Amino acid sequence: MLGGISIWQLLIVLAIVIMIFGTKKLRNMGSDLGGAVKGFKSAMNEKQEDKGEEKQPESLTDQTAQKDAEFSKTKDQDKA
């Protein structure tokens, strides 16, 4: 039992839905829903790829170390 709903109750509801909408309309609705889910997933993957291509900001310690190294190079060049 799934939360008080038996398999027989689910089958009865499914039979009623098939009688109301028909199999062709249900098939079309299923394919439309599948296409929408596929489009959503591809859009999410594209967005993640776009984020991955952007340059990640460096941490503060990396920026400080890089500036110190550049300063040392210019200071050494000034001495020469």
pLDDT digit string, tens, across residues 5-35 = 889 999 999 999 999 999 899 899 999 999 9
Q: Which pLDDT band holds residue 40 (cuts at 50, 70, 90)?
A: very high
Dist. CA 67–CA 61, nearest whole Å: 10
In terms of pTM, does the model score above 0.85?
A: no
Mean pLDDT of 42-52: 82
Mean pLDDT of 29-48: 91
Dist. CA 50–CA 31, nearest whole Å: 29
User: Can you give the residue ranges of every domain in the chain?
Assistant: 1-41
Q: Is the pLDDT of residue 2 over 60?
A: no
